[in-house]
Amino acid sequence: MAAIDYTAEIRGAGLRVTRPRLAVLAALDAHPHAETEAVLAAVREALPGVSRQAVYDVLHALTDAGLIRRIQPSGHVSLYETRIADNHHHLVCRVCGDVRDVDCAVGEAPCLEAANDHGFAIDEAEVIYWGVCPDCATNNDSAHGAERLRDGPPTEPHR
């Protein structure tokens, strides 16, 4: 989607259309699952004078407005994406950190009926699949790393 397509979406969310907001959305379209520094670098290609704080503010405003989604897999920095219209999930490589979208089961959104909802009206489930990507799986060192990490990100030892 080109940056010009976002004008109506930004206005529809009750926000003012600004060049930094358009640039952030374009950057996220070009680089799904981007961390803040990657978004900043991409925005600065279009708007060299934009400040780090302006990009942080835009990411926060667009997330609050529901125009972008922030995900933060355990042990990772926040990542942002423009794919928000569905309840998709993510696949994360334990070795290199690559993140990929995974579509939900066709016709249903899995895991929306919790065993005990504690009175919540559940409207979304977030699932993160962990594994080793094909590139890392073919690397001998990565195979040992994958074995070491198969039980999840490192945690504090039990005392």
Helix count and strand count (H, E) for the chain: 6, 6
b/e for 129-147, b at 16 or more Cβ within 10 A? ebebbeebeeeeebeebbe
Tens digit of pLDDT for each residue in 15-60?
Answer: 999 999 999 999 999 999 999 999 999 999 999 999 999 999 999 9
Tens digit of pLDDT for each residue in 73-130?
Answer: 988 899 999 998 887 889 999 999 899 998 876 555 555 677 788 898 877 777 888 9
What are the boundaries of each domain within the chain?
3-71, 86-149
The pLDDT of residue 112 is 61
| Residue 146 binned pLDDT confidence (cut-offs 50, 70, 90) | very low
Tell me the CB-side half-sphere exposure of residue 73, using CA atoms within 13 A.
24
pTM above 0.85, yes or no: no
Which of the following CATH numbers is that of domain 3-71: 3.40.1390.30, 3.40.190.10, 1.10.530.10, 1.10.10.10?
Answer: 1.10.10.10
The pLDDT of residue 111 is 58
What CATH code is assigned to 86-149?
3.30.1490.190
The pLDDT of residue 155 is 36
Q: How far apart are CA 126 and CA 112, in angstroms?
A: 9
